[in-house]
A and B are shown apart, each in its own frame.
Chain A
Amino acid sequence: RKEVEQDPGPFNVPEGATVAFNCTYSNSASQSFFWYRQDCRKEPKLLMSVYSSGNEDGRFTAQLNRASQYISLLIRDSKLSDSATYLCVVTLNAGKSTFGDGTTLTVKP
């Protein structure tokens, strides 16, 4: 079993749609959780940290369920500029981070 598993995608949605990505992790000792976004041929950029209490940043909402070892990202009112690959990242202590395989989102006009 992979340490971090994401929805395989790709997701193709129209502008204005709501889309949700899911991610599960296998190591219950994992301590930090993030969503990164990566555009084609660019570096990953932090989108959001993920907390058990959930957090929201504009159109983006991230949630963590430690009991189920599950992380989610919800994007509301999708924009063309949201098209990218979304990477779930899980970190143990000491900086050991594992990336999910990524889910590609294409938002179409």
Chain B
Amino acid sequence: DTEVTQTPKHLVMGMTNKKSLKCEQHMGHRAMYWYKQKAKKPPELMFVYSYEKLSINESVPSRFSPECPNSSLLNLHLHALQPEDSALYLCASSQDVSTDTQYFGPGTRLTVL
């Protein structure tokens, strides 16, 4: 099983809403990642978790709050987002953070109204 799953597939939210994106993998990977991808742009790294601890935060605004409840799950909590935060949010995992291949989930397409 080399699958990373993400829910929901699509999400529309208002600027005052609170929502969460979920990501799951059962490959025994110990590193998990959140990326943001705008249209016609490459994915941009947001957060890296290594062994369930946040190891990289790429200066992401605090309205995005990651959480890693266990080694298989990664959440991204959203609050008070702006329309410019509309994007495809991709989760990925890898065996560890050293140099391993990252496997991507299908993403959540987020629209902020």
Which A residues are within 8 Å of any B CB, using their own CB? 31-32, 34, 42-46, 49, 87, 91, 93-102
Contact = CB atoms under 8 A, between A and B. Distances in A.
A31 B99 contact: yes
Contacts of B50: 94-95
B105 interface: yes
B99 A93 contact: yes
5 cross-chain pairs, A with B, having the tightest CB-CB distances, nearest first: A95-B97, A99-B42, A32-B99, A43-B104, A95-B48
Contacts, number: 54
B97 A94 contact: yes
Interface in B92-113: 94, 97-107
A7 to B, nearest CB: 14
A4 to B, nearest CB: 9
- Most chain-A CB neighbours within 10 Å: which of B31, B48, B99, B102? B99
Contacts of B99: 31-32, 91, 93
A5 to B, nearest CB: 11
Nearest to A100: B42
- Most chain-B CB neighbours within 10 Å: which of A44, A93, A100? A44
Nearest to A99: B42
